[in-house]
Amino acid sequence: ERIAALREAMKQHKIDAYIIPTSDPHMSEYPADCWKYREWISGFTGSAGTVIITADKAGLWTDSRYFLQASTQLEGTGIELFKMMLPETPTIPEFLTHELKEGQTVGLNGETYSLADARSLEKALAEKEIKLNTNASLIDPIWKERPAIPEAPMFEMPIELSGKSTEDKLIDINKMLHKAGADCTILSALDEVAWTFNIRGTDVAYNPVVISYAFVSEKESVLFGNPKKIPAEIAEHLKKEGVTLADYGMLATFLSRLPEQTRVFIDSKRTNVAIYNALPKSSILIEGTSPANHLKSIKNETEIKGFRNAVL
C-alpha cells in the first residue's frame, strides 16, 4: 500500500524513479524515527541501505552485513534485494540509467541527500540525458502517522567538561573561515553543532546530539532548534556567548536572505542538497572539510582527561 501511494505521488509530480536513502537532513548514520523513510517504505531495519522505486520495479541496495536480514524483511514486499559490491550487482546510477529513458526524471528529497552525492548522481544521469529533481519530498504527505521530531530538552556540556567556551570555539571557527576566504559557514552535522555550542541531547538513540543547525559568521552566530527543547538557563547562557536562537524550520528562509556575493563555506559531504538549493544564486561557494570538524578532532586537556576517566 505504501509503495502504491508513493507511485501515485510520483505520477502526480512527473517523477519516474524515486530514491529513498537512510540518512536524515544532518547526514547522520543513525536517524531519529521521524526520518526513517527507508525503513517505513520497505520494512528493512538495517542501519545502511537505499531503496529505489520506479513505476514497475522496486529495489533495496545494502551491504553484506545485511544480506540475510534484508532477504527476510523484504519477503512479500515486492522489493528486490540488490547485494552491493558483488560483480553482478549494478550500482544505483547504473540501474537508473538502464531503467529510465532520455528525458525522464529521478526524484529525491534533498534534505536526505548530501550535496556531494547529488552532484555525482546528477553527472551520471546527465550522460543519458536523465534529469534529477532534488526538491521532491513525496513521502511526508503519505506517511500519515509519521513520528514528530524529538522534543526532549537539551542539556549543557559545562566548560569544566568541555574545556572551552562556545564563544572561544566560535572565534576559532571564524579564524579558519577568514583563512579560507569565507564569510560564513553552515553546520548541519549534529556532532559539530553539539561540540561548537557545548550542548547535548537524547534525540537519537546512542548519540548524545540535539537536532539542530547552525550558521556561523563574524557578524552573527545562529543556532536553529526547537525553542521548546532549550531550557531558559541554557538559552540565557548561549545569548551571553553571542548566540542568537532561531526556530529549526527557519534555516532555508534565513539562508535565502543572505547578501549577494556572500562567500559560504560548505562541507559538501556533510551538508544536504536542500541547504545548497536555499542559498541565493549569487552566493560564492568555498568547499572543504568543516572548520568545526577540524577543530573538534584536536582534543584539549580537559577532554583528554574526560576520555581517561570514562575508560577507567
Q: What is the mean pLDDT of residues 45-74?
A: 96
SS (H, E, C) the chain: CHHHHHHHHHHHCCCCEEEECCCCCCCCCCCCHHHCHHHHHHCCCCCCCEEEEECCCEEEEECHHHHHHHHHHCCCCCCEEEECCCCCCCCHHHHHHHHCCCCCEEEEEHHHCEHHHHHHHHHHHHCCCCEEECECCCHHHHCCCCCCCCCCCCEECCHHHHCCCHHHHHHHHHHHHHHCCCCEEEECCHHHHHHHHCEECCCECCECCCCCEEEEECCCEEEEECHHHCCHHHHHHHHHCCEEEEEHHHHHHHHHCCCCCCEEEECCCCCEHHHHHHCCCCCEEEECCCHHHHHHCCCCHHHHHHHHHHHC
pLDDT score, position 206: 87
pLDDT(278) > 90: yes
Cell of 95: 540501474
Q: At 131, phi and psi to the nearest 5?
A: -90, 160
**C-beta neighbour count of 74 within 10 angstroms:** 20
pLDDT score, position 4: 96
CB 20 within 8 A of CB 37: yes
The phi-psi region of residue 247 (left if phi > 0; otherwise alpha if psi is between -120 and 50; otherwise beta) is beta
pLDDT class of 38 with cuts at 50, 70, 90: very high
Sign of CA dihedral 38, 40, 46, 51: negative
**Whole-number Å distance between alpha carbons of 63 and 22:** 13
pLDDT more than 70, % of the chain = 100
Q: What is the mean pLDDT of residues 156-167?
A: 96
Q: What is the mean pLDDT of residues 13-42?
A: 95
Enter the pTM of the model.
Answer: 0.92
Dump pLDDT digits (tens) for 242-259: 999 999 999 999 999 999
Q: What is the mean pLDDT of residues 13-33?
A: 95
pLDDT(176) > 90: yes
pLDDT(2) > 90: yes
CB 255 within 8 A of CB 274: no
pLDDT score, position 24: 95
pLDDT class of 205 with cuts at 50, 70, 90: confident
**C-beta neighbour count of 45 within 10 angstroms:** 13
pLDDT class of 143 with cuts at 50, 70, 90: very high
CB 67 within 8 A of CB 44: no
**C-beta neighbour count of 87 within 10 angstroms:** 4
Dump pLDDT digits (tens) for 64-112: 999 999 999 999 999 999 999 999 999 999 999 999 999 999 999 999 9
pLDDT class of 62 with cuts at 50, 70, 90: very high
Cell 528493512 identifies what position? Answer: 44
Cell 524550520 identifies what position? Answer: 249
Side-chain-side CA neighbours of 256 within 13 Å: the count stands at: 7
CB 104 within 8 A of CB 130: yes
pLDDT more than 90, % of the chain = 98
pLDDT class of 216 with cuts at 50, 70, 90: very high
